[in-house]
């Protein structure tokens, strides 16, 4: 198996490139984002490689970083998502956007990719939501909690409001107001992380202010 290739880009044709590694030209399939990141013909490039072995072919898929490779392997565990569809999704969404969309159950974003219809997009979300949720929460709340928030978290559980139980209701309310699901998910999780909302109405109002900031 080939895990990584480093060489000179000899040719780029659509979503395929030829990488010259010490005189040997490797044909590698890659998504639009990877191709944009690695440079042009004649430039040095390094790719993480996923080798797919089939009865009639051995195909190399290249990725500019480990995050894309991880998501490629994760996506292709879903029934109906083959390597080509996986590459198509990663061409339409960055790894962060993908994690956020699945964590927010925003299947519409996945339909931007060629070969992904509404039913397949919903299946991807349902099968991968548990894997994506921790990453999506980290993306939605990029900065660490303040000392005040940490102190609030340290309080006994019976003193803290069960505001996290209202997260999905708040997201749904914002979506009904016309906001995108991923955008709403990010705002709601940011407010929840700060620990300032006491009930569902305050969670919604503070999330609206968060999006307007």
pLDDT, residue 148, reads 44
Residue 141 within a domain:
no
To the question of pTM greater than 0.85 for the whole model, the response is no
Q: Which domain holds residue 90?
A: 71-136
**pLDDT averaged over the chain?**
83
Q: Cα(157)–Cα(178) distance, rounded to whole angstroms?
A: 34
Residue 130 within a domain:
yes
Q: Is the sign of the CA dihedral 112, 143, 199, 156 positive or negative?
A: positive
Query: Domain boundary at 115, 136, 157, which?
Result: 136
Q: Give the CATH number, domain containing residue 31.
A: 2.40.50.140
Determine the length of the chain.
Answer: 213
pLDDT digits (tens, 9 = 90+) for 52-106: 998 888 999 999 999 999 999 999 999 999 999 999 999 998 888 888 888 888 8
Residue 142 within a domain:
no
Q: Cα(213)–Cα(158) distance, rounded to whole angstroms?
A: 32
C-alpha distances out from residue 90 to 62, 78, 99, 112, 211, Å: 12, 15, 11, 10, 26
Q: Cα(183)–Cα(179) distance, rounded to whole angstroms?
A: 7
Residue 176 within a domain:
yes
Q: What is the mean pLDDT of residues 112-125?
A: 94
C-alpha distances out from residue 131 to 9, 55, 98, 141, 184, Å: 34, 30, 11, 17, 20
> Are 121 and 89 in a shared domain?
yes
Q: Give the CATH number, domain containing residue 79.
A: 1.10.150.20
Which residues, in sequence order, are CB contacts of 53 under 8 Å at separation 6+? none
Q: Cα(24)–Cα(195) distance, rounded to whole angstroms?
A: 57
Residue 78 within a domain:
yes
> Are 157 and 204 in a shared domain?
yes
Query: Domain boundary at 63, 88, 113, which?
Result: 63
pLDDT digits (tens, 9 = 90+) for 4-37: 999 999 999 999 999 999 999 999 999 999 999 9
| Number of domains into which the chain is organized | 3
> Are 40 and 58 in a shared domain?
yes
Three-class DSSP labels, 177-211:
CCCCHHHHHHHHHHHHHHCCCCCHHHHHHHHHHHH
What residues does 20 pair with on adjacent strands?
Answer: 8, 25
């Amino acid at each position: 198996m080939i895990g990584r290739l480093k060489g000179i880009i000899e040719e780029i044709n659509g979503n395929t490139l030829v990488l010259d590694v010490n005189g040997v030209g490797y044909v590698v399939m890659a998504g639009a984002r990877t191709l944009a990141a690695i440079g042009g013909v004649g430039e040095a490039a390094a790719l993480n490689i996923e080798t797919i072995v089939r009865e009639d072919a051995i195909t190399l898929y290249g990725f500019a970083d480990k995050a894309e490779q991880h998501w490629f392997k994760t996506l292709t565990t879903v029934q109906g998502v083959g390597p080509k569809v996986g590459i198509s999704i990663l061409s339409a969404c960055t790894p962060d956007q993908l994690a956020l969309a699945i964590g927010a159950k925003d299947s519409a974003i996945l339909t931007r990719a060629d070969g992904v219809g509404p039913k397949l997009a919903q299946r991807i979300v349902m099968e991968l939501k548990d894997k994506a949720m921790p990453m999506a929460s980290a993306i939605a709340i990029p900065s660490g909690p303040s000392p005040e928030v940490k102190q609030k978290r340290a309080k006994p559980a019976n003193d803290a409001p069960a505001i996290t139980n209202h997260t999905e209701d708040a997201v749904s309310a914002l979506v009904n107001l016309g906001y995108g699901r991923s955008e709403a998910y990010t705002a709601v999780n940011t407010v929840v992380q700060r620990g300032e909302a006491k009930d569902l109405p305050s969670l919604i109002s503070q999330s609206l202010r968060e999006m307007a900031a």
